[in-house]
Amino acid sequence: MARRMRTLRDLDVTERRVLVRVDYNVPLENGQVADDTRIRATVETIRWLLDRRARIILCTHLGRPKGQVREELRLAPVAAALSTVLGQSVRYVRDIVGPEAQEMARRLQPGEVGLLENLRFDPREEQNDPEFAAALASLAECYVNDAFGAAHRAHASVVGVAKLLPSAAGFLMEREVAALERVLHSTERPFVLVLGGAKVSDKIGVIENLLPRADALLLGGGMANTFLRAQGFEVGRSLVEEDKVEEARRLFALAAKHGVRVELPVDVVVAPSLSAVDARQIIRVAEMPADQAIYDIGPETVRHFAAVIATAQLLVWNGPMGVYEVPEFREGTRGVAEAVAACPGFTLVGGGDSVAALKELGLADRVDHLSTGGGATLEYLEGRELPGVAVLMEGGE
Ligand code: ADP
Ligand code: MG
Ligand 1, atom nearest to 295 Cα: 23
Residue 395 pLDDT: 74
Q: Are 122 and 96 in contact (CB under 8 A)?
A: yes
Domains 8-174+386-390 and 189-344 share a fold: yes
Considering only CA atoms, which residue is closest to atom 17 of ligand 1?
Answer: 198
**Ligand number, closest to the Cα atom of 197:** 1
- 320 vs 194: CA distance, rounded Å: 9
Choose among 348, 393, 331: nearest CA to 1. 393
Considering only CA atoms, which residue is closest to atom 5 of ligand 1?
Answer: 197
What is the phi/psi pair of residue 51, to 5°?
-60, -25
Active-site option among 38, 153, 244, 330: 38
- Kindly tell me the number of DSSP H helices and DSSP E strands found in the chain: 15, 17
352 is an active site residue: yes
- 94 vs 92: CA distance, rounded Å: 7
Active-site option among 98, 111, 205, 352: 352
Residue 57 pLDDT: 98
Ligand 2 midpoint to CA 218 (Å): 18
Residue 1 pLDDT: 45
CA dihedral 263, 264, 269, 272 (to 10 degrees): 170
**Ligand number, closest to the Cα atom of 271:** 1
pTM: 0.93
* Domain spans, the chain: 8-174+386-390, 189-344
- Count CA atoms within 13 Å of residue 311 on its CB side: 14
Ligand 1, residues at Cβ distance < 6 Å: 196-198, 202, 221-222, 239, 294-295, 318-320, 322-323, 325, 351-354
- Count CA atoms within 13 Å of residue 278 on its CB side: 0
The helix (run of H) or strand (run of E) holding residue 309 is: helix 299-309
- 332 vs 309: CA distance, rounded Å: 14
pLDDT in tens, 193-235: 999 999 998 899 999 999 999 999 999 999 999 999 999 999 9
Q: How far is CA 316 from the centre of its chain?
A: 13
Ligand 2 midpoint to CA 53 (Å): 39
The helix (run of H) or strand (run of E) holding residue 58 is: strand 55-59
For residue 70, what are the CA distances in angstroms to 6, 64, 94, 121?
A: 35, 9, 12, 7
- As its CATH architecture, domain 189-344 has 3-Layer(aba) Sandwich (3.40)
Residue 394 pLDDT: 85
Considering only CA atoms, which residue is closest to atom 25 of ligand 1?
Answer: 222
3-state helix, strand, coil in the chain (%, to 5): 45, 15, 40
For 81-105, the three-class secondary structure string (H helix, E strand, C coil) is HHHHHHCCCEEECCCCCCHHHHHHH
Ligand 1 midpoint to CA 222 (Å): 6
End-to-end CA distance of the chain: 15
- As its CATH architecture, domain 8-174+386-390 has 3-Layer(aba) Sandwich (3.40)
Largest CA distance in the chain: 71
Residue 334 pLDDT: 98
229 is an active site residue: no
Considering only CA atoms, which residue is closest to atom 15 of ligand 1?
Answer: 323
Ligand 1 midpoint to CA 115 (Å): 35
Q: How far is CA 346 from the centre of its chain?
A: 18
Residue 314 pLDDT: 98
pLDDT in 10s for each residue of the chain, 397 residues: 457 999 999 999 999 999 999 999 999 999 999 999 999 999 999 999 999 999 999 999 999 999 999 999 999 999 999 999 999 999 999 999 999 999 999 999 999 999 999 999 999 999 999 999 999 999 999 999 999 999 999 999 999 999 999 999 999 999 999 999 999 999 999 999 999 999 998 899 999 999 999 999 999 999 999 999 999 999 999 999 999 999 999 999 999 999 999 999 999 999 999 999 999 999 999 999 999 999 999 999 999 999 999 999 999 999 999 999 999 999 999 999 999 999 999 999 999 899 999 999 999 999 999 998 989 999 999 999 999 999 999 875 5
Q: How far is CA 49 from the centre of its chain?
A: 25
**Ligand number, closest to the Cα atom of 200:** 1
- 350 vs 254: CA distance, rounded Å: 23
Choose the residue to mutate in 353, 354, 380 for probing ligand 1, maximizing ligand atoms within 8 Å of C-beta. Answer: 353
The helix (run of H) or strand (run of E) holding residue 19 is: strand 17-21
Instruction: Give 260-294 as a DSSP string.
Output: -EEE--SEEEEESSTT-GGG-EEEEGGG--TT-EE
For residue 190, what are the CA distances in angstroms to 34, 217, 310?
A: 40, 11, 10
- 69 vs 89: CA distance, rounded Å: 24
319 is an active site residue: no
Active-site option among 52, 175, 199, 366: 199
Choose among 319, 313, 314: nearest CA to 336. 319
375 is an active site residue: yes
Ligand 1 midpoint to CA 325 (Å): 9
Considering only CA atoms, which residue is closest to atom 21 of ligand 1?
Answer: 222
Ligand 1 midpoint to CA 322 (Å): 6
